[in-house]
Structure 1
Amino acid sequence: MNDAAPARILIVEDEPTLAAILADYLRNAGFATEHIADGGQAIDAIKGWNPDLVLLDLMLPGRDGIEICRELRGFSDVPVMMVTARVEEIDRLLGLQVGADDYICKPYSPREVVARVQAILRRAGKWKEKNGDAAARAGLVIDMERHEAMLDGKRLDLTPVEFRLLNALYSHPGRIFSRDQLMNHVYSDYRVVTDRTVDTHVKNLRRKLDQASPERELIHSIYGIGYRFEG
């Protein structure tokens, strides 16, 4: 952390072991944490502690995460990462306007949670890497005026669709995009295309990224949902 005061993460999770592990990883990454286990206490805790981000489990005693998030959005724009134990719930959450900024499914790697938290807070201007944002974005540089992209100093030979696709993912690191959302970014005329078309564009884009930097996977598939960029 570069700021004088660490960003504060509120963990709303009823599994004490999991909450303790998350808190340890987040504190080791330089964040301050608080934990509550009862969904009925979440709103008061958010108002009282004023966190910079809320890790919010979907299934909680007292009150579920969707209800909490909806009420929260009535008085705060604090970033929310929704956590669920069921993959099929993510698709439903993406279709609901509950106001969450990201979604992650159990079981997950605590390191991935930390990376996603960092990405969300970077977007909100509340967290910076020690080596600067350029380093955090995996050496990828996008020039919107020239419609060019470079990875580790190598120019990527992208089609217009691939360029728009990459820019959409790159501009929101850690965010899960459904195929429909990516279609809206890629095709400004909202033409009707199939999921397979989007998958083909992503496959071609990944191949070009891999040619420039074979050691890393920058675009990650989220099974049954879509894609996200992780630097």
Structure 2
Amino acid sequence: MFDVLLIEDDRTLFQEMQERLSQWSYTVHGVQDFSRVMEVFTSVEPQLVIIDIQLPKFDGFHWCRMIREHSNVPIIFLSSRDHPTDMVMSMNLGADDFVQKPFHFEVLIAKIQAILRRVYNYNTHASELQTWFGATVDFERGRVTANDTSIDLTKNESFILKQLLEKKNKVVSREEIIQKLWEDERFVSDNTLTVNVNRLRRRLNEIGLEHVIETKVGQGYTARDGAGS
């Protein structure tokens, strides 16, 4: 059983999603007062958040920022707007996926299942610690520490970094990362991976790990091995 916090103000859609998700043994929690989303989040402590972009009071981006200040829980955005910038903004804020309305419920379920398997099984089996360019990478906590400073990675960022570090100095193709990360590349755009990798680079730059992930044009990405660092 997983607790899902569904932040959706369309009551008809909420009730439909609650009913359908319940059939898959997910416990769905909602929000009544959209100025108190964080209170509900803290009370429920969900394993997954699904959030609409257009909401009363504050939009979904605002609440994603607030959640990310306290938690790396997986987040899926829903949007009825056909703006490519919405997806880019979502990923930059640390969301794990983006679903365009109207959507096929089977696609949403596939995305939810892939994320939950990756997040809650991956951490159990990941190697706990690695040293890389003098930094300590803690996959269990999703944390990288260097120069007495730590950053917390999202689940996607941590997973991508793990794939690259498993093959240091070797090219890991974009297709391989997409397939392992989302399990079915039909459900993710190529641009989503680019956004995630760019965000990972920016986070590593914050602790002095610059130019440690290289882009191989037309091939994929390489993590330098950091030998002697």
**Which range, TM-score by smaller chain?**
0.5 to 0.7
Deviation at 1:41, TM superposition (A): 2.3
Q: How many Å apart are 1:18 and its aligned residue?
A: 0.7
Q: What secondary structure does 2:29 align onto?
A: strand
AA partner of residue 94 (structure 1):
V
- Deviation string 1:5-52 (CA, Å, 9 cap, x unpaired) is x00111110111111111111111111111225432211110011011
One-letter identity of the residue aligned with 1:91: T
Q: Distance in 1 between matches of 2:190 and 2:14?
A: 26
Calculate the TM-score normalised by the size of structure 1. Answer: 0.58
Q: Equivalent of 2:85, from 75, 80, 91?
A: 91
Q: Give the structure 2 partner of residue 52 of structure 1.
A: 47
Q: 1:171 aligned to 2:180? A: yes
- The alignment status of 1:109 with 2:109, answered yes or no, reads no
**2:117 and 2:51 mapped to 1: Cα distance?**
19
Give the length in aligned residue pairs: 156
> CA separation in 2, counterparts of 1:85 and 1:22?
15
Report the counterpart of residue 14 of structure 2 in structure 1.
19
Q: Do 2:178 and 2:193's aligned partners in 1 also have CA atoms closer than 8 Å?
A: no
Deviations 1:141-180 (A, max 9, x none): xxx9xx9xxxxxxxxxxxx98x713211112115544077
One-letter identity of the residue aligned with 2:24: A
Are 1:119 and 2:114 counterparts?
A: yes
From 158, 169, 181, the counterpart of 2:194:
181
Task: Show the counterpart of 1:64.
Answer: 59
Rate the CA distance shift 1:180–1:46 in 2: closer, same or farther, 3 A: closer
Deviations 1:203-223 (A, max 9, x none): xxxxxxxxxxxxxxxxxxxxx
**2:5 corresponding residue in structure 1:** 10
C-alpha separation between the residues in 2 aligned to 1:125 and 1:87? Answer: 31
Gaps of 5+ in 2: 123-163, 199-212, 221-229
Contact 1:13/1:35, CA 8 A, preserved across alignment: yes
Correspondence for 1:229: none
Q: CA-atom RMSD, angstroms?
A: 3.2
**Whole-Å separation in 1 of the counterparts to 2:180 and 2:36:** 34
Please give the residue correspondences for 1:128-139 in structure 2 after superposition, counting only pairs within 5 Å: none
Letter in 1 for 2:179: Y
User: Are the structure 2 counterparts of residues 179 and 101 from structure 1 closer, same or farther at C-alpha, using a change threshold of 3 Å?
Assistant: closer
Unmatched segments (≥5 aa) in structure 1: 1-5, 128-143, 148-159, 202-231
Structure 1 CA distance, aligned partners of 2:68 and 2:192?
25
What per-residue deviation string (whole Å, max 9, x for no partner) do you get for residues 112-156 of structure 1?
Answer: 2111111111111169xxxxxxxxxxxxxxxx9xx9xxxxxxxxx
Structure 1 residues 107 and 47 mapped into 2: Cα distance closer, same or farther (>3 Å)? same
